[in-house]
Amino acid sequence: MNYIGSKYSLLGAIRALLADRGIRPPGTFFDAFAGTTIVGQMAKTLGFSTISNDLQAYSQVLARAFLVNNDPPRFAGLDLSGGDSSAFLARTSPFGVAKGAVDIRSGDFAPLVRVLAYLDGLPGTAGAFTEAYVEGGSAGRLYFSRANGMRCQAIRDQISGWQREGAITDLEAAILVASLLESLDQVANTASVYAAYLKHLKGTAQARMTLRVPALIFGDAVHEAYIGDTNALADQLAGREIAVMYVDPPYNQRQYNSYYHILETVASWDLDAFVPRGKTGLRPARRQDSQYCRRPQAADALIDLVERVPADQVIVSYNDEGLVDRDQLRALLGRRSTGDDDFREFSYRRFRADADGPTRSYSGSEVFEYLYAIRTRRQAVV
Ligand SMILES: C[S@@+](CC[C@H](N)C(=O)[O-])C[C@H]1O[C@@H](n2cnc3c(N)ncnc32)[C@H](O)[C@@H]1O
Please tell me if the CB atom of residue 127 comes closer than 6 angstroms to any atom of ligand 1: no
DSSP 8-state code for residue 8: G
Other Cβ atoms within 10 Å of 48 Cβ, number: 24
Query: Which positions of the chain have pLDDT values less than 70?
Result: 285-287, 349-364, 378-382
List, in sequence order, every residue forming a beta bridge with 370; answer none if it has no partner.
318, 345
Q: What is the mean pLDDT of the chain?
A: 92
Please tell me if the CB atom of residue 7 comes closer than 6 angstroms to any atom of ligand 1: yes
Question: What pLDDT score was predicted for residue 322?
Answer: 86
What are the two backbone dihedrals, phi and then psi, of residue 72, each rounded to the nearest 5 degrees? -60, 125
DSSP 8-state code for residue 377: P
Residue 39 near residue 27 (C-beta atoms within 8 A): no
Please tell me if the CB atom of residue 261 comes closer than 6 angstroms to any atom of ligand 1: no
- Mind listing the pLDDT tens digit for each residue in 60-69? 999 999 999 9
Ligand 1, atom nearest to 35 Cα: 27
CA of 95 to the centre of ligand 1 (A): 20
CATH of region 8-121+189-198+213-376, choose from 3.30.470.20, 3.40.50.150, 3.40.50.300, 3.30.457.10:
3.40.50.150
Question: What pLDDT score was predicted for residue 212?
Answer: 98
User: Whole-prediction pTM value?
Assistant: 0.95
Question: What pLDDT score was predicted for residue 287?
Answer: 65
CA of 35 to the centre of ligand 1 (A): 5
Burial profile 78-109: b = 16 or more Cβ within 10 angstroms, e = fewer:
eebeeeebeebbeebebbbbbeeebebeeebb
Residue among 186, 249, 191 nearest 1 (CA): 186
Give the ranges where the chain is alpha helix by DSSP (H).
Answer: 11-20, 38-46, 57-63, 86-91, 110-120, 128-133, 146-165, 170-185, 203-206, 230-236, 256-259, 261-268, 295-308, 326-334
- Mind listing the pLDDT tens digit for each residue in 271-323? 999 999 999 999 986 667 888 988 888 899 999 999 999 999 999 999 888 88
Please tell me if the CB atom of residue 369 comes closer than 6 angstroms to any atom of ligand 1: no
The Cα–Cα gap between 101 and 207 comes to 27
CA of 249 to the centre of ligand 1 (A): 5
Ligand 1, atom nearest to 39 Cα: 8
Ligand 1 pocket test target in 14, 50, 55, 255 with most atoms within 8 Å of CB:
55
Question: What pLDDT score was predicted for residue 381?
Answer: 45
Question: What pLDDT score was predicted for residue 286?
Answer: 66
CA of 250 to the centre of ligand 1 (A): 6
Ligand 1, atom nearest to 290 Cα: 16
Residue 319 near residue 367 (C-beta atoms within 8 A): yes
